[in-house]
Structure 1
Amino acid sequence: MATAKENKNSQSFTARIPNEIFESMEAVKQDGESNAKFIVNALRGEIARRQT
């Protein structure tokens, strides 16, 4: 198991988010979707949106 905050493929970071944002995320996540998967997909979408 990886223990470093960064490896060849990814980085780990910690962020605090408001409770209402977390609750909204939980409400719209697909069945079986992890928090990490949801956040990565959301970040990819936001990055693409800002690049246009």
Structure 2
Amino acid sequence: MGHEIGRGHETCPGPNQPAPAMMQQIRGLRGCHPNAWPYDERGDYLHGPPVP
């Protein structure tokens, strides 16, 4: 669904952070925590750096 709304793949934003929903988590978490929800408790979109 993320690709359909214009989102690209992202990577871990930093150690112990929730993994972005657009991170290919099956390939490893790179220090992030598993996460399937795209927003935090305040409703902010969880994102990380784009994958080149």
TM-score interval, normalised by the smaller of the two chains:
under 0.3
CA radius of gyration, larger in: 1
Larger RCO (CA within 8 A; separation ≥ 6):
2
